[in-house]
Amino acid sequence: MEYLIKQYPLETGALEIQYIEEYFGEFPRKKTATEILDRLRDREFLILMAEAPLRDDPGTIVPVAFKIVHEIRQDESEPKLKDLVTRLRDSVEFEDRKVLYSWVGGTRRDWRGQGHFRALTEESEVWAHAAGFHEVVVKTKNRYYDMRGTLDQLEFNVVKYEIHPTDNRESKVYLSKRLTSDVLRSHTSSRRVVVAD
């Protein structure tokens, strides 16, 4: 199977992500287009969306999965990113290295388990390697079992675990992957990428 991936520029991408997030009931707080614009405006980023046919109407192609990755730097000033970098400091080397953060992503329920998220991840890794990134990091929670299982299959390694004081399901798990050429060679998905306006 060939996966169809769209790569979006900032403004259109922010609106598309805001739209698709409406389909994800399990996200407690959805990202708005403004939040996405503010986060990505002054940094390297990639906004990807996978598209696939509707089961009942194969002639209609719809967005089914998405992923946003962006650069994080040692000297972040935006409070959330500053906090993230501080928490990662002992686990991820920032000095003279380009570090990518896998910020948000997901697949609509009816299309899960069909390889869309692997395809998006592999495409983002090809882009990141070409852009000179050394490592990609991601944060999740203990209770996000689907995401943890997926990151396991995608060979992310746990670099930090922050236990929640009262509810271990809420504990934070930080994972990372070094972006070597071996990683690119291990890719399995076949993809067609279209750059959207």
Answer for the pair 63, 107: CB distance below 8 angstroms, yes or no.
no
Site for ligand COA in 62-81 (CB under 6 A): 65
d(CA 47, CA 36): 10
Rounded CA gap, 78 and 24, in Å?
A: 26
Q: Please state the closest distance from residue 141 (CB atom) to ligand COA, in A.
A: 7
Site for ligand COA in 133-162 (CB under 6 A): 140, 144, 146-147, 149-150, 153
**CA atoms within a 13 Å half-sphere pointing along the CA-CB vector of 117:** 19
- Which range touches ligand COA (CB under 6 A), out of 72-80, 82-90, 112-120, 168-176? 112-120
Looking only at residues 14 through 33 of this chain, which bind ligand COA when binding is defined by CB under 6 A? 26
CB of 120 to ligand COA, least distance (A): 8
Q: Residue 119 Cβ, how far from ligand COA at the closest point, in Å?
A: 7
Query: Which CB sits closer to ligand COA, 13 or 106?
Result: 106
Give dist(CA 94, CA 105) in Å, integer.
23
Smallest distance, ligand COA to C-beta of residue 183, A: 14
Q: Name the residue nearer to ligand COA (CB basis): 29 or 90.
A: 29
Task: Write down the least CB distance from residue 197 to ligand COA, Å.
Answer: 26
- Residue number closest to ligand COA, CB atom: 149
- Smallest gap from Cβ 151 to ligand COA, in A, equals 8
User: For residue 101, what are the β-bridge partners?
Assistant: 70, 137
Question: What CA–CA distance (Å, rounded) separates 192 from 69?
Answer: 19
Report if residue 106 touches ligand COA, rule: CB under 6 A.
yes
Q: Give the number of residues in contact with ligand COA, rule: CB under 6 A.
A: 19
**Residue numbers at the binding site for ligand COA (CB under 6 A):** 26, 65, 105-107, 112-118, 140, 144, 146-147, 149-150, 153
